[in-house]
Amino acid sequence: MQRINVRVDEKLKRELEAEAREKGVSSSDIVREALMEHVRRRVPQVSCLDIAQRIGIIGVYKDTPHDLSTNPEHMEGFGRD
């Protein structure tokens, strides 16, 4: 395990130590559990691809080549009047 340092005020330190005594565990165990719960509840970042797929704009053109966006042959003449 890795060690990190966190500064807390005196009141929080006393409350943390009291809870640790009540549960019969270390203060580190209480803090570790709280951090794990915080990370578990964190909302994951959503990518532009995720949003595009959710709203249905990915794959809207049917019957097109599967390599339309990557094959240079399909780009011939693109952007010309």
Q: Convert the pLDDT of each residue in 13-55 to its tens digit.
A: 999 999 999 999 999 999 999 999 999 998 888 999 899 989 9
pLDDT for 78: 81
Q: Are residues 7 and 18 in contact, defined by beta-carbon separation less than 8 angstroms?
A: no
CA distance 37 to 60: 39
Q: Using the 8-state DSSP alphabet, how is residue 43 labeled?
A: P
- pTM, whole model, 2 decimals? 0.54
User: pLDDT band at residue 57, thresholds of 50, 70 and 90?
Assistant: confident
State the CB neighbour count (10 A cutoff) for residue 54. 10
